[in-house]
A and B are shown apart, each in its own frame.
Chain A
Amino acid sequence: KAGVTQTPRYLIKTRGQQVTLSCSPISGHRSVSWYQQTPGQGLQFLFEYFSETQRNKGNFPGRFSGRQFSNSRSEMNVSTLELGDSALYLCASSPDGQGNTEAFFGQGTRLTVV
């Protein structure tokens, strides 16, 4: 069974640009969550999608957005990049996003904003 796949693995962008990250969940999983991980802040929840709908949202500015497709693949978009957006972005998939099962993480996309 294939794991969670995130693409690309590494990105370098300049300030003001926008970026789109992709996450393919484990087959059969319908919930995809996105997290930002930085050395100072740890893992911070961005948002969660379930059946193409954003079900939960963290405390990030509107520059961070996402969507989910009918095949459960999810994309995250960050517009008008800032230096502080440099981080490891992780997505996690689970069957239903409920706490009775674990979430499996992808390898992450490391974004560097210069």
Chain B
Amino acid sequence: QKEVEQNSGPLSVPEGAIASLNCTYSDRGSQSFFWYRQYSGKSPELIMFIYSNGDKEDGRFTAQLNKASQYVSLLIRDSQPSDSATYLCAVYNFNKFYFGSGTKLNVKP
């Protein structure tokens, strides 16, 4: 079992819609959770991180963490074509970052 699982997609949403990206992790002791965005041919860039159960909002992005169910999600409101990228979920546990394989998001104009 992989430490971090993501649906590879692609997830297609129309411009202006809400995109919902999900991630599950295997180790209940995981401490912190990160979402990275990676454009094709580029390196990952951090969108946001979350440590505590609940929601954390930053502009159009909301991260949601549910430790009991071991999942973390990212909501993108008012999706734009420029949001089209692969979104990587990362989990920090025991001094290591574990990455999911990413979900490809396509936002159609």
Contact = CB atoms under 8 A, between A and B. Distances in A.
B104 to A, nearest CB: 11
Contacts of B44: 43, 90, 105
A48 B96 contact: yes
Given A99-B31, A100-B32, A33 B97 contact: yes
B43 A90 contact: yes
A98 B36 CA distance: 17
B43 A43 contact: no
Nearest to B88: A43
A92 B44 CA distance: 10
Interface in A29-50: 33, 35, 41-45, 48
A2 to B, nearest CB: 15
Interface in B34-76: 34, 36, 42-46, 49, 51
What's the interface size class on A, roughly?
Answer: 20 to 34
Contact of B42 (A35, A55, A107): A107
A23 to B, nearest CB: 12
Contacts of B43: 90, 105-108
B101 interface: yes
B1 interface: no
A98 B95 contact: yes
Contacts of A103: 34, 46, 97
A104 B46 contact: yes
B51 to A, nearest CB: 8
A108 B38 CA distance: 12
9 contacts: A35-B99, A42-B101, A42-B102, A43-B88, A44-B99, A55-B95, A56-B96, A102-B49, A105-B43
Interface of B: 31-32, 34, 36, 42-46, 49, 51, 88, 92-93, 95-102
Given A35-B99, A100-B32, 20 more contacts: A42-B100, A42-B101, A42-B102, A43-B88, A45-B96, A48-B96, A58-B96, A90-B43, A90-B44, A92-B97, A98-B92, A98-B95, A99-B31, A99-B92, A99-B93, A102-B34, A102-B49, A105-B36, A106-B43, A108-B43
